[in-house]
Structure 1
Amino acid sequence: MNRDIQRLNVRLAQAQPSATYRIMDRVAARRAEGAHIISLCAGEPDFDTPTHVCQAGIEAIQNGHTRYTQVAGVRALREAVAAKFRNENGLNVGWQDTIICNGGKQVIYNALAATLNQGDEVIVPAPYWVSYPEMVELCGGTSKILVCSSDDDFKLSPAALNDAINDNTRWLILNSPSNPTGAVYSQDELRGLAQVLLAHPHVLVLADDIYEHLLFDGQVFHTLAQVEPALAPRILTMNGVSKAYAMTGWRIGFATGPRWLLEAMEKLQGQQTSGASAISQQAAIAALTGPQDFIVRSRGVFAKRRDWVVAHLNDTPGLECLNPSGAFYAFASCAGLLGLTTPAGTLLNTDEDVALALLDEASVAVVQGSAFGLAPYIRIAYALDDDSLRRACEAIRQFCLSLSPGTIERLMVPRREDS
């Protein structure tokens, strides 16, 4: 076959597939072979979607809500989204200031695709959600990665932000609570970042608040446009129903922001996917306007799981984990495991080596921290039932206890390149 016919868009050819999905594919392959794998890599709640939300979806089908909708979403859902932003986040917005997309990921992609041109830079604090840099590159921009260490609780400082901004800076992406670290920006920390941004009026901000309702220890959530209203005309505040209401497969994300940007995103979406599922939109209305007790119950369960998982990880040789303030991830340093050898003879040079060895030798799936822009760490999603979590953490502990120092010959083996 003529190789020219297989030529791809250069940006797509350079993009990397999601590391999370690569691990999930490997898990599926191992399970197909008969292996019993405990997966701690998927970022979705293990709870069923609330009953009244499912019923709304069923009724939507029965009542004929099975046709195309407006590209930006049905008005009833946009009104519910606007009310959510007003009542929960203190943002003075109406339904015309909202957009509904096919999941939160499309919100982000549409915003970047609608605004980025060659030479534009996007500041992405690391650790980051794996898709941020790839989306930036696919949309023609350049990611400017700012590493935020554990010494700073994995959070961006005003000084680092100020130093990174230049004339080419188009966006800052800010995710709180964070995937993968669970870090949460306080009101004062957001105010510090806001002061920097006020001095640079050409910079847009994408506030990814998808884990908003998963905060622990009595913390109160704050979003940047709420903390500094003067920045609201250049902030896209995105959210969705996937994490808060266990609706990952319903594919509904939403956002509010300046109308010029929302109109551009709607124009793009109209030529791309059109509107989100009519059935899912009706279910999302029920989620946002119906009983909210599910959020409280699930948050309590996640808090207990966090406490147990983090304590167990910190009691495991070679691992060290900060206590996350939100989301449902533990981001554990595995620096203490590097240079050691597994019972199967695998030398652990990198955090990817650790993740793959845990899968192959301990039957536990995690994602390497290097996929999120910071090594050597592993991300553990504790969105799993208690029994499976306990068995997984014990398997990780036994794996770490089984490691032995490598021989001189093995330690001289060149490091494998991260993929």
Structure 2
Amino acid sequence: MAPNIPPRQHSRWIIHVDMDAFYASVEQRDYPEYRGKPVIVGADPKEGKGRGVVSAASYEARKFGIHSALPIGQAYRRCPHGVFLPVRMARYQEVSSHIFSIFHRYTDLVEPLSFDEAFLDVTGSLRLFGTPQAIGAQIQRDIWNEEHLIASVGVATTKFVAKVASDLQKPQGFVMVPAGRERAFLHDLPIERLWGAGPKTAKLLRRRGYESIGQVASASCAELSVWLGKQGMHFWELANGIDDREVVPEETAKSIGAELTFASDTSDLAVIQQTLLDLAQRVGSRLRAEGVSAKTLTLKFRTAKFHTFTRSSTLSRSTDQDATIYRIALSLLDRLPCAQESVRLLGIAGSHLGKPEDSSQLNLFSSAHEAAVPISKALDSIRSRFGDQAIQPATLLSSTDGDARKETNRQNVHPKSVDNLH
């Protein structure tokens, strides 16, 4: 017997747009010679000996079992003839801003989840642009016509159902779930599709005999809550198509950072300092691209024995400037008890983000900072157009690029969920 589900008013229409293989697709668009070839964006594979990870893989590469977060060495062994490319984060940010400008033509309620993914609440746009289905289809066409990139679109009355819908027919999928059909739409899908049901939770549910979302929907909510706590209620509601979360426009990132995994562990101070300078430059660039500054800076240091240490510093005045980030990172390095050990990974992150104008008032001796701002913006413009390596500090001209590759560019704007999605 179906559970007693409270009546719902279907007053909202939400669109979830997810760019397909975004980084790899941008590379194939910018460089036509890569089209139709397996493109892998990420660390240097070093003929199968690289130690970074895959950031993105084209659909041609996915046929070889290559996916994001796969160790780059494995990716090379699975597809040695693939096109391996470095991450061009400034370029992806630039293209992302164009795509988001398309979203804002149709609604002000746009909630970014990452550079290539967003929720749109188009409830207030129906009189102007037509049905939710028509709006979603037009957005998909606009992205193709203007950016020559493909996107998958899900349209539904809730965030959860819209997100599931956009993922079902990739690439360039389009799935519309009519109001009142949410439960039927979800019924036969595997429990892994439940938002927040990670591998451990899915395994636990399967042990209890729940294989599909429909089985969770038909279960006793009270029973699920007894052995899963709040998660039980959460999963039962999602399985029944109940999700009252609103689209939160322009949610500010919780942190912006960059990490690098060395190809070979190193204790060379000069290499470590060069790497921190490179990371500081990347973090500063991304802060400025997002129009925010960081009040707190954190250094991450992972030793050759996989012991991870972090140190943080909260500034009197928030910053988005490379030189300040680098100076603070060096001071944090001196505070680490493991600073003399060989390092496997370094990372810098900025948090407690806010608009630059929200920072404390400049003091009488702030002229150096003021002078650095237009210089930083000019450098960002050059790198966005010609690549991250187009202009560099002299100390990075013989930098660690030959010895290490960037593993992760972190921007923590993930949606709220019950399970740990990271």
Q: TM-score range by the shorter chain?
A: under 0.3
Instruction: State the structure with more CA Rg.
Output: 2
Give the number of the structure whose residues are more often strand, by fraction.
Answer: 2
TM-score by length of 2: 0.26
